[in-house]
Chains A and B, each alone.
Chain A
Amino acid sequence: MHPTTYFSKALTWGQLRTDMIELEQLTKKFGPVTAVAGIDLKAGVGEVLGFLGPNGAGKSTTMKMITGYLAPTSGRARVCGHDVETQTLQAQAAMGYLPEGAPAYGDMTPRQFLNFIAQVRGFSDAAAKARVDAAVGKTELDPVLEQPIETLSKGFKRRVGLAQAILHDPPVLIMDEPTDGLDPNQKHSVRALIRAMASEKTIIISTHLLDEVEAVCTRAVIIDRGRIVADGTPAQLLARSRHHNAVTLTLPAAQAERAKAKLKSLGPVASVEQSDISGTARLSIFPKNGSLLIEDVSALAVAEKWDVKELYAEAGRLDEVFRALTTHDATRAREART
């Protein structure tokens, strides 16, 4: 969903909240190591915020501080206006949390486990049953409801964790790698579930799957070495890619040289790169300042009567942006040495 869509939707409901999650200079140090170095962030209703970052960037630590599992070294986290450190229980009651790896008590069945969660969350027996049934329905846990959790497949275990997190229909959901280790079908259904809940909740998910960000997130925050290095909609991040609006053109190798010369003469073209695949040449045409190229290129191709096999524009490559923002000098130096 585009940001303006949920913005207007929330406005019409008269319940616009832009401060469901507020992080102020949130910092966590483990001894001499700074895991999270002063994160400022606000997230509101309708946002699905994707935390991206390399391993060890501080995504999980940030989530652990938001959910009250770890106390921040300095700074503060507020959830629905409740300070996580001083009003821990109110904040935790307003949150659902799927910790990394979806831990659960392996000796319990999903039904026993979810019942336990419902009771600790203060639901009476009848309400607990209704809640458990609803969560089981949403996460399609029915077939394994009476089997010990430790005997379940990874996908079902993850769904048990998910069911536990959404059991009390919380306004804020924090999920650490919700689709990690799932097969494509399971990923699809988890993403569909997240999208279905998105409009009325504030959701933070962490992931290293870049396609996940494009699939479910309204906003992507890239974290590197404990700091936010980028914050924007997936489209805004894509616009920072070198491939943003780049055009790929495939034609017979014989026509490549002439085509390259012609393309370079086009005003908005910055550069053309060629790669050959068995008799055909694939030209990547990069625009100046991210301007749109596809119309100019296709007009040229028609005018020149090239035998075009492929012609398409790219939105951009998130992995490229991700690497550019999170590959730091130390890593580059290490790579150069090896």
Chain B
Amino acid sequence: MKYVWPIFRREFAAYFATPLAYVFIVIFLFAMGAFTFYVGRFYDNGQADLTVFFGYHPWLYLFLVPAIAMRLWAEERKTGTMELLLTLPAPLWASVAGKYLAAWAFTGVALALTFPIWITVNYLGSPDNGVIVASYIGSFLMAGGYLAIGACISATTGNQVIAFVVSVVVCFLFTISGAPLVLDFFRAWAPLPLVTAISSFSVLTHFAAISQGVIDLRDVVYFLSLIALFLTANVAVVDLKKAG
């Protein structure tokens, strides 16, 4: 922990030291609002809940989270600071965790800043605030999952654009892994249990379950394992690159 904290703090401060954080937050909030009110027709539904709002989160995260994650390692590799970071006497997992947690906390800040919409529905009617809290938690976990995927992919390259594009594709596959597009590809040759397993990887399914208002342990475990899996892969990727 003594290693994770300074790395976390440096990384988190770095977001706000540049326009990155502000641009991201503004666009994030704007996109959330635009989708909820114009595309989702929030007012026309006549319901005081945030189902529409949360329904767009997986799709917005699909592009916005890789945009945060792409710089995590690719930038360090490009500017050479990676060499500095990895030759400091801090274990590799601490660097991976510190940087990841900082990015996750940053998405948390962006997500928290959507609170006016929560106030709005409470003003308009009496929504089930339990469901809303659960949905926020689910949304945060989902962002964490995408972010871990993006962080891992960012570690493989020094090019942020490549990191972004590949992350979007991989995140997309995880998002829709329950859909025919992905499953048909596997059905042709993979045994049924594998196909079932792949369909259970779907971010959408687990997020939908949580946003019903029921925080099922299985869904939480799903997201946490997704994060753990990709962070472990992140450590392995950085270590492999060391071997040249």
Contact = CB atoms under 8 A, between A and B. Distances in A.
B6 interface: yes
Contacts of B83: 64, 69, 99, 103
B6 A70 contact: no
A76 B13 CA distance: 38
Contacts of B88: 92, 117, 120-121
B145 to A, nearest CB: 27
Nearest to B7: A120
B95 to A, nearest CB: 9
A95 B88 CA distance: 9
Interface size class of A (residues with CB under 8 A): 35 or more
B238 to A, nearest CB: 11
A315 to B, nearest CB: 37
A92 B89 contact: yes
A101 B80 contact: yes
Contacts of B221: none
Contacts of A70: 242-244
B184 to A, nearest CB: 38
Nearest to B80: A103
B18 A104 contact: no
B87 A89 contact: no
B18 A107 contact: yes
Contacts of A322: none
Nearest to B84: A103
A115 to B, nearest CB: 9
B45 interface: no
Contacts of A69: 83, 86-87, 242
A175 to B, nearest CB: 12
A97 interface: yes
Interface residues of B, number: 25
Interface centre among A70, A105, A122 (most CB of B within 10 A): A105
A206 interface: no
Nearest to A97: B87
B129 interface: no
B23 to A, nearest CB: 14
Interface string A73-116: 10000000000000011101101010111011111100010001
A302 B84 CA distance: 61
Interface string B75-113: 000011101101111110000000000000000000000
Nearest to A105: B81
B237 to A, nearest CB: 14
B218 interface: no
Given A67-B87, A89-B91, A107 B6 contact: no
Interface in B1-41: 2-3, 5-7, 9-10, 13-14, 17-18
Contacts of B17: 107-108, 148
B232 to A, nearest CB: 19
Given A100-B80, A101-B80, A106-B79, A68 B86 contact: yes
Contact of B81 (A68, A93, A95, A103): A103
A248 to B, nearest CB: 45
A164 interface: yes
Contact of B3 (A64, A90, A120): A120
Given A70-B244, A107-B17, A108-B17, A164 B84 contact: yes
A117 B90 CA distance: 11
Given A71-B243, A119-B6, A120-B3, A99 B89 contact: no
B244 A28 contact: yes
A30 interface: yes
Given A28-B244, A70-B244, A116-B10, A121 B89 contact: yes
A100 B81 CA distance: 10
Nearest to A99: B83
Nearest to B10: A116
B87 A30 contact: no
A107 B84 CA distance: 15
Nearest to A90: B89
A100 to B, nearest CB: 7
Nearest to B92: A88
Contacts of B18: 107
Contacts of B13: 108, 112
Given A71-B243, A104-B81, A120-B6, A93 B86 contact: no
Given A103-B79, A107-B17, A116 B89 contact: no
A64 B87 CA distance: 9
Given A92-B88, A103-B79, A108 B10 contact: yes
A121 B13 CA distance: 19
A71 B244 contact: yes
16 contacts: A67-B87, A70-B243, A88-B89, A89-B90, A89-B91, A90-B89, A99-B84, A103-B81, A103-B84, A105-B10, A105-B14, A107-B18, A108-B10, A116-B9, A119-B5, A122-B89
Interface of A: 28-30, 64, 67-71, 73, 88-90, 92-93, 95, 97, 99-101, 103-108, 112, 116-117, 119-122, 148, 164
Top 9 A-B pairs, shortest CB-CB distance: A103-B80, A119-B6, A107-B17, A92-B89, A93-B89, A99-B83, A67-B87, A89-B89, A103-B81
Interface of B: 2-3, 5-7, 9-10, 13-14, 17-18, 79-81, 83-84, 86-91, 242-244
